[in-house]
Amino acid sequence: SQSFQFINGRMSSSTTIHHTFLAQAVGSFEIGPVEVEVNGEIVRSKPIRIEIVQASGGATPQPQGGQPGATPAQPRHDPALQGNDTGVFLKAELDRQRVYQNEPVIISYKIYTLRSISSYSLSKLPNFAGFWVENFELPRQPQTRQEVINGQRYLIAEIKRSAVFPQSAGMQSLEPMTIECEVQMPAQRRRSRDIFESFFDDPFFARTARVSVSSKPVQIEVLPWPNNKPANFDGAVGHYSLKATVDRREVKTNEAITLKVTASGQGNFKTLSAPRLNLPSDFEVYDPKVAEDINRANNQISGSKTWEYVMVPRFPGNFEISGLALPYFDPRAKEYRVASTAPIALSILKGAGEVALAGSGRTKEDVKLLGQDVRFIALSDLPFQEIDRRNYAQPWFMTLLVLPVLGLAGALFYQRHQEKLSTNVAYARSRKATRAANLQLQTAKKFLQNNDGKQFYAEVQRALMGFLGNKLNVAEAGLVTEDIQKLLEDKKVAPAVVAAYLNCLHTCDFQRFAPSQSNGVEMKQFYDQAQSAIEQMEEAL
């Protein structure tokens, strides 16, 4: 810092430079004299003698720039924070580098800087291909702390934190992230003896430079699951509990029963599959309604996922819903475990209407004996049949022979399809991509009818990004325009289809933040355009 004084027409000035030292050992030390050149003369200060004593157990030093009462961090050495003239670094830090498949890794991106940063922006997000990503919410104003590294005091701020779930075993790599910062750099001036020129070396007159910095790629070793997998294991990893309830246990035929199955705990709920139901054959079951409640806090992904089934019993009687099971792998115990529920007993009473027999047009009450005596003798002549007519040569006979083979082939195909859905995450996501996108578009259509442009374009963007994420088996949270174009080009998608799809994404980005009022006609046209883009991309992929 500098100060100037004018007294009785005479000017005097002083320059103060602050240094902070941290003693590493007990003893007597001397800080040598400081030399400066003033008007061609060398001026020296007196040496300073300092006695370092053992720290008292009851006294805690007050750190500079930290929280009151906190113990200052010990200086450390970090080779990653070297070789950069700007004094600004971006580091990707992992909480661990060796995990099991689908076990989360917390990755934190932090800025280390020796200089003042007025602003920053993300210019390139890392490509999380092969990972499922859950992002943590951080304060809009990053919290900072100070730490001495390589003998220099750095200001550290965390700007992004995510939980990544590797979807396949082996060595996996996370690509760098790039940011651009507005950094205050010291002015480059020639050495001067003029004290007035040294006044302009104050940080107030520092120049601002735009600096681009990138993190280094990081490697994660992903271990495969052990071989002794339990039956119906679908890749759940973490800690789970399971609960099943029904809204009522006694109903009449053709009345609906709601079965709620809830899995709660810690893990990747986005890819968690529903426990397999074993219901009575006389129950008609509809596709479940799925709800998620995910909590991203304290470096953990926890919460619950609920499947709500609607069941309609067709026949009266006493039935039982078998206990449900959710097999999962516990990475802490390094063993498989099963979360389960108790069976649920149901009492189905006869309703007011008749109960239909499956496969016939009659009811149970229609089945009665008409008599116990000899049947009525048919008086009409029996039809004649040609002697040389062979049934095995008839088309209907050949059809009967082929049908079992076709049925067996269909059953095998269906079984392999179900096994592939339960074991291959990429295949399962690809199969549900179009249906999930259409559901998202239906939600967008409601905002279209209400003329809510911001929400409409946000939902359409979710449909477009979600479709690509499911089709390409990548986390949509980590997709940017350049990565999307490269991925689609690698899939040999026609440039016209890629351009139409990217144009829809750009329109969503623009309209979401545009200040103008939404136009209903334009929104309807864009809805059709987005729907057509998804259909064309479905054909191309």
- Banded pLDDT at 115 (limits 50, 70, 90): confident
- In this predicted structure, what is the pLDDT of residue 62? 40
Domain topology for 79-223: Immunoglobulin-like (2.60.40)
CATH code, 238-366: 2.60.40.740
Tell me: the pLDDT tens digits for 493-521?
888 888 889 889 888 877 776 666 667 88
* Coil/strand/helix, residue 189: coil
Q: Which amino acid is at 528?
A: D
Of 417 and 329, the structure prediction assigns the larger pLDDT to: 329
In the chain, where the domains are located: 79-223, 238-366, 423-540
pTM: 0.51
Contacts of 351 by beta carbon, 8 Å cutoff, 6+ apart: 252, 253, 254, 255
Tell me: the pLDDT tens digits for 146-193?
888 888 889 999 999 999 999 999 999 999 999 998 888 776 555 544
What secondary structure does DSSP assign to 324-373, as a single string?
PEEEEEETTTTEEEEEE---EEEEEE--SSPPBPTTSS-BGGG-----SS
What secondary structure does DSSP assign to 59-123, as a single string?
-----TTS-TTPPPPPPB--GGG-S-TT-EEEEEEES-SEEETT--EEEEEEEEESS-EEEEEEE
CATH of the structural domain 423-540, one choice from 1.20.120, 3.40.50, 2.60.120, 1.10.10 = 1.20.120
Q: Would you say the C-alpha torsion 387, 388, 389, 390 has a positive or negative sign?
A: positive
CATH fold match for the domains 79-223 and 238-366: yes
Tell me: the pLDDT tens digits for 269-324?
988 999 999 888 888 999 899 999 999 988 899 999 999 999 999 899 999 999 99
The Cα 200–Cα 250 span in angstroms is: 86
- Banded pLDDT at 139 (limits 50, 70, 90): confident
Tell me: the pLDDT tens digits for 328-355?
999 999 999 999 999 999 999 998 765 5
pLDDT at residue 194 above 60?
A: no
